[in-house]
Structure formats: structure tokens, C-alpha cells
Amino acid sequence: MRLTPAAVAAERDRLRDRAPVVVPLLNDTRAALGELFDTDVGAVSDEAYRREVDTVFADGDRAVNVAALAGLLRELDVEGDYPGFVVDELLGRRLAATVAGGQPLALLAEATFHVADTRTHGGPDEPAGVDDLDAALAAGFQTRLPGWSWRETPSPFAVEPTEPTGRGRDE
């Protein structure tokens, strides 16, 4: 695998083009989680997904990592599939976390990856990692996109900064 700016841009385009597959899985995953946690979660449109792909790829450091992980998953196949189960799960979790952003969203995306992964299965002629790619994209983007009520309001745990005391470095 060779990653260049052109290769990263091509990966962005491939992920944007996966909207017809990823967005239904993303919304199905949101619905399942909403039911599990007794909350309504907003659906995501294909266009919102594509805009968010563009946002992720606008951050070059994140983009190169997303491109690498997505490329690995797209090509990953292991004879008999099961022996490769650990590596495609590992790559899928990392891709979901990288797409979602920093903590705590990264951890939530990793956990959500497993939910999404149970809701998709690749075709018989596809490499084993393709369904993990779709699950990772669904988990990562559903985590970072609006729609969860708990993300729409400020955290009750935010602590206001204190005034300098005049001691230590502030003297």
C-alpha cells in the first residue's frame, strides 16, 4: 500500500460513494441503539454522511490514517475467514475510533462497531474485511454526527475555570 495525497483523495471518494451501503447500516445501528437505550436518535441522510466524510478528510493527519485503515479492510481476506477474525475486528474498531474523533467518542465508536458488525455481512465473493469496513464507517460516522440528545446540550460535568490564586506560576 502506498499512500499519497492522490491516494487519500481517491479513498475519500470511495468512502463517499459507499453512502448507499453505509447510511442504511448507520441508521439501522442508530435505531437498534435507540431502542436499547430507550431514546430517539435522528436519522442521517446520504448527503449528511458525504459532508461528514469530507470533514474527516479535510484533516490531513486523520485522513491518511482513515485511508490506510479503509484500504487494509477492503483488501483483507483470510482463507477460511475465522482465523482473520481478530485482525479485521481490530482494524474495524480502530477505523471507527479514528473517524469518530477523540475521547470519549472514539471509545463509543469502538463499542458501536461491534453492534454494526452484527448487522452486516459481506457477499460470498467479497474479501472478509469489506463488511468490517462498512460496519466501521457506520459506527464512526453515527457517533460523530448529530442526532443523540445527550450530545445536544452542554455536559453537566463541565467545571468553570478558577481565577488565578497569585501563587506558583501566576505570581
Supply the pTM of this predicted model: 0.87
> Which of 30, 41, 44, 26 minimizes the C-alpha distance to 137?
26
- pLDDT of the residue at 125: 73
91-100 confidence digits (pLDDT tens)? 999 999 999 9
* Banded pLDDT at 83 (limits 50, 70, 90): low
Q: Mean pLDDT across the chain, nearest whole number?
A: 88
Eight-class DSSP state of 120 = -
H-helix segments, the chain? 5-17, 19-36, 46-58, 60-75, 85-100, 105-117, 129-144
